[in-house]
Amino acid sequence: MVSPPLSARIRATFAAPIPTAKAWATRYDGRAGPTIDLTQAVPGYPTHPGLAARLAEGAESPVQARYGTIDGDEALRSALAANINHVYGADLRAGDVAITAGANLAFTMAMTVLCNTGDQVMLPVPWYFNNAMALTMQGLEALPLPCRPEDGFVPDPEMAAALMTPRTRAVVLISPNNPTGAVYPPEVIARFAALCRERGAWLIVDESYRDFLPEDASPPHFLFQDPDWRDFVVHLYSFSKAYCVAGHRVGAIACGPRVREELNKVLDTMQICPPRGPLPALTWAIDNLHDWKAGNRAIIAERARVFREGVGRLQDWRIDALGTYFSYIRVPEGERDAMAIGEALATECGLLSLAGPFFGPGQQRHLRLAFANVGLEAIAEVPERLSRLR
């Protein structure tokens, strides 16, 4: 018997990085102490008690037995639109917003609407690996846009213009960035917007971590103040980190009516509806957890400070970028490449990270450490674990 073939696109997609890194840790014997897992970006503190109670009510609600609207409850869409308007000085309406089963699915669905098989999508490198994986799965080409440590890993619009081809259908910007934590200045985002308008490409802006920016900062960008933004911008958002609900899988897409009309077909096919239970709780949370979110920003900022001070004292390791949830650190000169170092840190030192090659070409000398996952005591141990390797 000849077994039928599998999808060539799925077979061409690289293996999921986080399970790969966690598999390394199964060989760790505990000699350095308890495992410190800095692989996946998750909030290292519980959700708000009031939100947790409402999430429990949602889980018990009879509506869970029925499907909801394909784009999510209008109350949540209105609340998120109002929140975006407050942050950016915008004029979004509920009709501009669709609620999705997480931001990863939001990205995949957006690519399904915007791109044809064989199109290119430009991703700044280091890239978010799930974006690259999603493109391969859909028969799209990830077009790398190299970013340099000396530029703070902020992408260069002029380099992007030189690399774009007639097949480049979209440019993706993630700010604050995963994996580097870099925050793209508003003027850089504006230059990318002008480039996309000039070339007839879509600009995808993923701001899953924007709630961890300083509250007194200016708007992260001014895209929504452009009266034509709905014609060339698609905005992605995640509730996971800001509200500590990663397991509930709730994200959002903001876009114009032309995209929304086609997106509705994809929403109905890929998710039918977003998870119903969390939506009323998150509607309440948007208007009522302002102070709690501010406290969480302070927690993450303190974890970043302790990480920077500790790892910054090491002579061989260098922090090339640090922000929000992440630090992107350089492997010592003369050492093995990042994949070998990541495996050794997991198996010998009990420190789980993600190796740079997971984040695209040319990343063999870097590791990503998601320090937001753990408390200060564990973060304080990271320098000692890194030093153990040598």
* Alpha carbon distance, N-terminus to C-terminus of the chain: 52
Provide the pLDDT for residue 170. 98
Residue 327 in tokens: 């630090």
CATH code for the part of the protein at 63-288: 3.40.640.10
Q: With a cut of 80, say whether residue 217 has pLDDT above it.
A: no
Q: With a cut of 90, say whether residue 216 has pLDDT above it.
A: no
Pick the CATH number of 9-46+291-388 from 3.90.79.10, 3.90.1150.10, 3.20.20.70, 3.30.70.1150: 3.90.1150.10
Distance between CA atoms of residues 96 and 188, nearest Å: 24
Q: Where are the beta strands (DSSP E) in the chain?
A: 36-37, 97-100, 120-125, 141-146, 168-174, 202-206, 233-238, 251-254, 318-323, 326-330, 351-352, 354-355, 366-369
Provide the pLDDT for residue 218. 85
Q: What is the per-residue pLDDT across 103-122, written as a single tens digit (0 to 9) for each?
A: 999 999 999 999 999 999 99
Residue 263 in tokens: 């997106």
Average pLDDT over the chain, rounded to whole?
A: 96
Q: What is the per-residue pLDDT across 130-151, written as a single tens digit (0 to 9) for each?
A: 999 999 999 999 999 999 999 9
Q: With a cut of 80, say whether residue 283 has pLDDT above it.
A: yes
Q: With a cut of 70, say whether residue 160 has pLDDT above it.
A: yes
Distance between CA atoms of residues 352 and 122, nearest Å: 29
Mean pLDDT over residues 227-237, rounded? Answer: 97
Q: Does residue 43 or residue 134 have the better pLDDT?
A: 134
Provide the pLDDT for residue 254. 98
Q: What is the per-residue pLDDT across 182-210, written as a single tens digit (0 to 9) for each?
A: 999 999 999 999 999 999 999 999 999 99
CATH 3.90.1150.10 positions along the chain are 9-46+291-388
CB atoms under 10 Å from CB of 163, counted, come to 15
Mean pLDDT over residues 374-384, rounded? Answer: 96
CATH 3.40.640.10 positions along the chain are 63-288
Provide the pLDDT for residue 1. 87
Provide the pLDDT for residue 273. 97
pLDDT band at 295 (very low <50, low <70, confident <90, very high): very high
The answer to whether 212 and 324 have CB atoms below 8 angstroms apart is yes
CA nearest neighbour of 79 among 285, 355, 360, 371: 285
Residue 13: burial class (beta carbons within 10 Å; 0-12, 13-18, 19+) = middle
Provide the pLDDT for residue 390. 64
Distance between CA atoms of residues 8 and 16, nearest Å: 16
366-369 and 351-352 as β-strands: parallel, antiparallel, unpaired? unpaired
Mean pLDDT over residues 39-43, rounded? Answer: 92
Q: What is the per-residue pLDDT across 59-93, written as a single tens digit (0 to 9) for each?
A: 999 988 999 999 999 999 999 999 999 999 999 99
Three-state DSSP at 167 gives coil
pTM: 0.95
Percentage of residues in the chain with pLDDT exceeding 90?
95
